[in-house]
Structure 1
Amino acid sequence: MVKLTDNEFLEFVKIMHGNYGIDLSKKRILIEGRLSNLVERKGMNSFSQYLESIKKNDKEEITLLINKLTTNYTYFYREENHFKFLKEVFLPYEEKNNKMKVLNIWSAGCSSGEEPYTLAMVMDDYFKFNSSWKIQILASDISENVLSKAREGIYAEESLSKLPESYKKKYFEKTPDGRYQVVPEIKRNITFKVFNLMDTIREKNKYDVIFCRNVMIYFNAETKMNIVNKFYEAVKPQGYLMIGHAETIQRNQSKFMYISPAIYRKE
């Protein structure tokens, strides 16, 4: 097993934070454990050699690095209080006041797709996509690897364990190998794309709701607040930001108004 030296570790931390905002300063064991075999397979005898290949800005190599170092654990209907809030507060308000009947939603850091698909199901269950409402869901992640899985939309049964049974029956088809595939009617309302949250947000239309849950745990405080403030500019007045329940936003550093745990609104 190739060992990670102190200088190599610091170099990895610098590259991942400087380019992607990901804080790996306390993840030395993770870096060594996930990349050691990769370095060996490439015929290299040190992490320094691998770092040199990364510095050449090889897109394929960088994509592989990100896929290896970012943890993507999620499931359908995760942190269900957010979806309850949508159904009981947000959507009834929009139904009454949104004359254009258009909703623009962003799942930022969507991982393998469970979150945006859950959002699409909640919207369909409330409005019905064959109605006069236009629901637009953008699902982005820094990892092309997980986005490929998201676009495929096929999941193991345990990933659906928290979903209402009615959703499971209505929005999935059983595959021959016992997995579950999202139906086309739900998939076509979501656009998946690679996006680095460190980049400038160039939204054509501002968002009614932004979901960025359990993503900012990888960022240090300064990077996190920069991203939150970018979200503030990207969301509509009276729009919402949903974060993970294990995350917090410093209220004296953000213009967002605290509504309830992990739910914030732009006034």
Structure 2
Amino acid sequence: MTREPTSRTEAPMTVISKQRLALGKAALDQNQSPVTLQRLNQEQFQKFRSFIYDQCGIRIESNKLTLLSNRIRRRLVVGDFVDFDDYYRFLISARGSTELNGFLDAITTNETFFFRTEKQFDWMKDQWLTEQIALQRQGKRAPELRIWSAGCATGAEAYTMGICLAENHYRLNDWSLQILATDISEEALTTARDGVFKERTIDAVNDRQRKRFFTKVPSSDQWKVRSTLRESVQFKQHNLLHRLDARPFDLIFIRNVLIYFDEQSKQKVIQNLIRSLADDGYLVIGPSEGVYGMLQSLQRVTPLIYRKSAKTPSTPDVKLRKGGAS
């Protein structure tokens, strides 16, 4: 990354020299770059926690200083920044938007698996699809299904949805089927679009499904999603704290995402998701989201599945406080 010099308040030269000499000596002793030895101090930690919260609503726990240090340090090396303060000044500057995606990629977790919590996909195939087909035959809905995988990470959930629909294609002739998968991380979305996954990620995919929807990458433990399945999913970057500009969805999955948000941010995300649901649409959550008290306007189908009624009342906008990561 090429950066213009940033204005900074100069510390005394003797202090800078001692700090850099100490880091340099330690780095030489361990055959490492001085940057790789740096660790956030408490003041820096609080600044980055607040910045992360303001950008995407994710709350970094107070005991995650070492973890956050390790993840941000990667960006220092990539961008040739001197230290954490240098990097923070750049992030909050007018030019910091060019680095924001890389920063968020570094601090978010994108591990995911095909058919995770498989019972929810069984419900999708056996109950939800059957219900939608019956409604269409009764003339109560159009032959169209819109599905959203919110916080899709590297795409395993969205591709699993695609497999479920493809395996029921004989029941969905002439239907318009749309799967949207969104995440805040561009790096995760790039992986999702490429559709290459390690063996352990597709461990729950059976042999018949592997043969139909994947090809083995030679001399590796990786599998590539076939083009027919890749083309069934649209991937898009989106911050869940913002309303999605799209027509309502019949089914929304949000699983293992909100565990990283504080209560106020969760309320904002849930509000946006409910607004994006069509009347009689369903919201599927993960077992660890911690949002049960926020779903009272929806009809509870199971502990992890909720339905929006046409009578569901609208709610006032949730306003997030700035720097609420204390």
State the TM bucket, normalised to the shorter chain: over 0.9
How many residues are aligned here?
Answer: 266
After TM superposition, give the deviation of residue 191 of structure 1 in Å. 0.7
Q: Any idea what SS the aligned residue of 1:58 has? A: helix
1:104 aligns with 146
Equivalent in the alignment of 2:237: 194
- SS of 1:104's partner is strand
**What amino acid is the match of 2:158?**
P
In the other structure, the counterpart of 1:213 is 255
Question: Partner of 1:17 in structure 2?
Answer: 53
Greater Rg by CA? 2
Identical-pair percentage = 29
Provide structure 2 residue ranges, at least 5 long, that are not aligned to the other structure. Answer: 1-36, 310-326
Question: What is the 5 A alignment of 1:56-67?
Answer: 56=93, 57-67=95-105
Normalised to the residue count of structure 2, the TM-score between the two structures is: 0.77
Q: Does the 8 Å contact 1:228/1:254 carry over to 2?
A: no
Q: Does structure 1 retain, via aligned residues, the 8 Å contact 2:242–2:272? A: no
TM-score by length of 1: 0.93
Helix, strand or coil at the partner of 1:251: helix
Return the match for 1:68 from 100, 106, 110. 106
State which drifts further: 136-145 or 229-238: 229-238
Equivalents in 1 of 2:179, 2:78: separation in Å? Answer: 39
Letter in 2 for 1:84: D
Q: Displacement of 1:189 after TM fit? A: 1.4
Name the residue aligned to 2:16. Answer: none
Give the whole-Å Cα distance in 2 for the aligned partners of 1:264 and 1:235. 11
1:254–1:55 Cα change, 3 Å? farther
SS in 2 for 1:11: helix
Alignment match, 1:150: 192
1:251 equivalent in structure 2: 293
Name the structure 1 match of 2:89: 52
1:86 equivalent in structure 2: 124
Of 189, 198, 201 in structure 2, the residue corresponding to residue 159 of structure 1 is 201
Q: Is the 8 A contact 2:180 2:234 kept in 1?
A: yes
Counterpart of 2:237, as a letter, is V
Structure-to-structure mapping, 1:125-144, within 5 angstroms = 125-128=167-170, 131-144=173-186
8 Å CA contact retained: 2:240, 2:269:
yes
1:116, 1:80 → 2: CA distance? Answer: 13
Question: Contact between 2:238 and 2:244, CA under 8 Å: does it hold in 1?
Answer: no
Displacement, 1:20? 0.7
Q: Which amino acid aligns with 1:198?
A: L
Distance 1:28 1:87, change over 3 A: same
Check 1:119–1:198 CA distance in 2 against 1; reply closer, same or farther (3 A cut): same
How big is the shift at 1:256? 1.9
Which shows bigger deviation, 3-12 or 217-226?
3-12
Letter in 1 for 2:113: Y
C-alpha deviation, 1:42, in angstroms: 4.3
Q: Say if 2:278 and 2:308, in contact at 8 Å, map to a contact too.
A: yes
Quick one: structure 1 residues 40 and 136, their matched pair in 2 at CA, closer, same or farther if it must change by over 3 Å? closer
SS of 1:237's partner is strand
Comparing 123-132 with 7-16, greater Cα deviation is found at: 123-132
